[in-house]
Amino acid sequence: MSKITAAITGVHGYLPETVVTNHDLAKIVDTTDEWILSRTGISERRIMKNGASSDMGTEAVKALLAKKGIDPLDIELVIVATVTPDHPFPSTANIICDKVGMTNAWGFDLIAACSGFIYALQTGSKFIEAGTHKKVLVVGVDKMSSIIDYEDRTTCVIFGDGAGVVLLEPNTENLGVMDAILRSDGSGRHYLIQPAGGSANPATLETVQNRDHFVKQEGKTVYKFAVTNMAEVSAEIMEKNNLKSEDINWLVPHQANLRIIDATAERCGIPKEKVMINIQKYGNTTAGTLPLCLWDWEKQLKKGDNLLLSAFGGGFTWGSVYLKWAYNS
């Protein structure tokens, strides 16, 4: 019997309508379009005015199921990567299942910040490879605007809101997720963190007054770790799978900073035209970036294409997934 692999057989996304440009942000914090564009590559981002992460996830999932003609009752498992769940509990996966009518599915949330989607993709793949599940949804969603301090120019210019989802199904043609290298180093937790709201610092008047429920980032330190580790892990997975740069059809990098993306592409010898970049439109949507790239490029992807997904984020967490695209659209 041929080996079962987990293939992505569909992708969709959701972006809120409201566009916030660099010029808009320059009206509320001391920044400029030139600074943001030259340091990050971002021109604008989407912000969700009303609603929660589950609403974006629900829209993306409903559209994917409609596109594929799949009954919500056929979905068996939903994994939601997010750092902005609707609530600490119940899980956003539970809420999305309810809103979409996926009443036969079980689900859970997974926290790995900007690496959330690749962690969830690898996790979901294992349920397919084990033969126990045939239809698994992996959602990456973040409403970053709910935890961003719009008085802090060092973070508010970077992040945006958005959701993406992929469907995983069994494949016997050796397509789909081929390999993954996932890493974490909790000693990096101090450099990118939402300090309050969890069990270490439950909400008090003081935590709110100190603005400790917002994301705090030591940008320069995170940049140094991100630029090295994202590039190294991408090169490592290529070497491990005997992939030369010309074998890679698409690099799918986490969209945190154009300079980090460029460094990763350069380290892997992958030319710019094979690198998915949409950071200029959406900013950093945390767990949303990778599925949103796949959605934006879906029509250009061909069956058998070699894709390298790479990410780095809070934790620290980072990693790379090598997958073979499974369909022509």
DSSP class of residue 4 equals P
Would you say 86 or 142 has its CB closer to ligand UT7?
142
SS3 244: coil
Q: Does residue 282 interact with ligand UT7 by CB under 6 A?
A: no
Q: Is 114 a catalytic residue?
A: yes
Alpha carbon of residue 299 to chain centroid: 20
> 311: how many CB neighbours lie within 10 A of its CB?
34
Determine which residue in the list 4, 19, 39, 99 makes contact with ligand UT7, applying CB under 6 A.
39
Give the nearest distance from C-beta 301 to ligand UT7 in angstroms. 24
Q: Does residue 114 interact with ligand UT7 by CB under 6 A?
A: yes
Q: Report the C-alpha gap between 137 and 154 in whole angstroms.
A: 34
Would you say 64 or 260 has its CB closer to ligand UT7?
260
Give the nearest distance from C-beta 9 to ligand UT7 in angstroms. 28
The answer to whether 291 and 57 are in contact (CB under 8 A) is no
Give the nearest distance from C-beta 239 to ligand UT7 in angstroms. 24
User: Which of 22, 94, 97, 114 is an active site residue?
Assistant: 114
Q: Is 254 a catalytic residue?
A: yes
Would you say 10 or 313 has its CB closer to ligand UT7?
313
Q: How is residue 287 written in tokens? A: 């767990």
Q: Report the C-alpha gap between 78 and 94 in whole angstroms.
A: 8
DSSP class of residue 129 equals H
11 forms bridges with which residues in the sheet?
166
Residues in contact with ligand UT7, shown as a per-residue x/- string from 148 to 177 under the rule CB under 6 A: -----xx--xx-------------------
The candidate with the shortest Cα–Cα distance to 288, out of 256, 259, 314, 317, is 256
Q: Does residue 112 interact with ligand UT7 by CB under 6 A?
A: no
Q: Does residue 83 interact with ligand UT7 by CB under 6 A?
A: no
The answer to whether 90 and 103 are in contact (CB under 8 A) is no
Determine which residue in the list 122, 125, 145, 257 makes contact with ligand UT7, applying CB under 6 A.
257
Give the nearest distance from C-beta 223 to ligand UT7 in angstroms. 4
Catalytic residues: 114, 254, 284
